[in-house]
Homo-oligomer: A and B are copies of this chain.
Amino acid sequence: MKLMNDLILRAAKGEQIERYPVWLMRQAGRILPEYRAVRATLSGFKELVETPERAAEVTIQPVDILGVDAAIIFSDILVVPEAMGLEYQMIEQKGPWFEKTIRTESDLYLADSHIDVYDRLGYVLEAIKITNKELNGRVPLIGFAGAPWTILCYMVEGKGSKTFSESRKMLYTNPTLAHELLRRITDVTIQYLKAQIEAGAHMVQLFDSWAGILGKEQYAEFGLKYISKIADAITEVPLTVFSKGALTSIEVIAKTNCATIGLDWNMDVVEVRKAIGETRTIQGNLDPCALYSSEKEVERQTINMLDKFTSKRHIVNLGHGVYPDIDPEKVKTFIKTVKNYELRNL
């Protein structure tokens, strides 16, 4: 199906663009009353993730309501550890929780890499197909997965954590087990992303939410080594790597075969561009809290960010997922400001 708006794909590849493309992490979610209405008819977050028709419905909402340049499939990074053998629950107000965790070699049966992703994760692939059918080429659809290090964090810790010290402990006490686990997650992630692309994802993103809790050397060994393998394997569509908090590794990330690097709101666009040159597209990175400001101030902050761009290789986004209590009107102001911004002769 021909895309009517392929701006984000061209920006990712470094091709010519008329204006910067824009979307928001977590754009399909609690920020929209229309999402909350769908969610209220279901038993919980997981039912929504696992029901392709409804997942497709909330995936498309921000395209209709906010006017973003891309949809991102409504799902969760934790579907992968679940498919491998670790069932999770999403507890209201608390976040994810796993009954079982991986601490020793004898737990490895809970991290099976010989799975059929078409069977175990068929509901995500089905949601991608329905979404594309209903989008009818209006905008590209982004697929995603958690990066191996972040998935290991949840498999070992079993829940969210400020320090993920159980997960980091394994890197010292049993690096062999950590590498085995990361290898398995990487294998499944490659299969899963390829299946998403086959189902219709036009680009894919790796979320490494806990990259920032590792120092540069450990992140190279336990994080980027596996991201790099995924980047080498995903040749069909552009790949975005979003390693939150990993500023000191940004030049190493730029050496992987990714098309786009996501920046969090603390990273300086000008400095990152200086460090990585024109070889990669940058995605981000307005502070999500800027959207709490008045409309005038949202506009000012957005233009302030855009004025820092010295290249066409940019996809506009926030530096983190949009916070659920942001007024959707402010998101519209953000998007409108990006769309009206005149591209200088770069």
Interface string of A270-313 (1 = CB under 8 A from B): 00000000000000000111101110010001000000000000
Q: When the two chains form their complex, are residues B289 and A171 in contact, meaning their CB atoms are under 8 A apart?
A: yes
Among listed A60-68, A120-128, A161-169, A231-239, interface-contacting one:
A161-169
List CB contacts (< 8 Å) of A141-194 with chain B. 160, 162-163, 165, 168-169, 171-173
A287 cross-chain contacts in B, Cβ below 8 A = 168, 172, 215, 218
Chain B residues within 8 Å of A289, by CB: 165, 168-169, 171-172
Residue A195, interface by CB 8 Å: no
Shortest Cβ gap from A275 to chain B (Å): 12
Q: Min CB distance, A243 to chain B, in Å? A: 13
Q: Tell whether A268 is near chain B: CB-to-CB under 8 Å.
A: yes
Q: Find the residue from A165, A267, A323 having the highest chain B CB count within 10 A.
A: A165
**Cβ of A254 under 8 Å from chain B:** no
Task: Give the residues in chain B near A293, CB-CB below 8 Å.
Answer: 172-173
Q: Give chain B nearest CB distance to A174 CB in angstroms.
A: 10
Q: How far is B163's CA from A288's CA once the two chains are assembled, in angstroms? A: 10
- For residue A92, give the distance in angstroms from its CB to the closest CB of chain B: 16
**Also in contact, A297 and B266, with CB within 8 A (given A165-B323, A287-B215, A288-B165):** no
Tell me which residues from 205 to 256 in chain A have a Cβ below 8 Å from any Cβ of chain B: 212-216, 218, 245, 247-248
Contact A266 B215 (CB under 8 A): yes
Asked if A320 is an interface residue, CB under 8 A from chain B, the answer is yes
CA distance in complex: A240, B172 (Å): 29
Determine the chain B residues whose CB is within 8 A of the CB of A45 once the complex forms: none
User: Which residues on the B side are within 8 Å of A172 (C-beta)?
Assistant: 287, 289-290, 292-293, 297, 301
Question: A292 contacts B169, CB within 8 Å?
Answer: yes
Interface residue A265 (Cβ < 8 Å from any Cβ of B):
yes
| B residues in contact with A212, CB < 8 Å | 245, 266
Query: Which residue of B247, B266, B297 is within 8 Å of A213 (Cβ)?
Result: B266
Q: In whole angstroms, how far apart are the Cα atoms of A323 and B166 in the complex?
A: 10
Do A268 and B216 contact each other (CB < 8 Å), given the known contacts A172-B297, A289-B172, A297-B172?
yes
Taking the nearest CB of chain B, how far is it from the CB of A60, in angstroms? 27
Report how far A78 CA is from B289 CA in the complex, Å. Answer: 25
Of A171, A290, A292, most buried by chain B (CB within 10 Å of CB) is A292
- Nearest-CB residue, chain B, relative to A319: B215
**Cα A292 to Cα B214 with chains together (Å):** 15
Taking the closest CB of chain B, its distance from the CB of A24, in whole angstroms, is 15
In residues 87-143 of chain A, which contact B (Cβ within 8 Å)?
none
Q: Which residue of B lies closest to A291 (CB)?
A: B172
Min C-beta distance of A70 to chain B, whole Å? 24
Residues of B within 8 A of A294 (CB): 173
Known A160-B162, A173-B292; 5 more pairs at CB < 8 Å? A169-B289, A172-B293, A215-B265, A245-B245, A248-B266
Interface pairs (25), CB distance under 8 Å: A163-B320, A165-B288, A165-B323, A168-B287, A168-B289, A169-B292, A172-B287, A172-B289, A172-B293, A172-B297, A172-B301, A173-B293, A212-B245, A212-B266, A213-B266, A214-B266, A215-B265, A215-B268, A215-B287, A216-B266, A216-B268, A218-B287, A245-B245, A247-B247, A247-B248
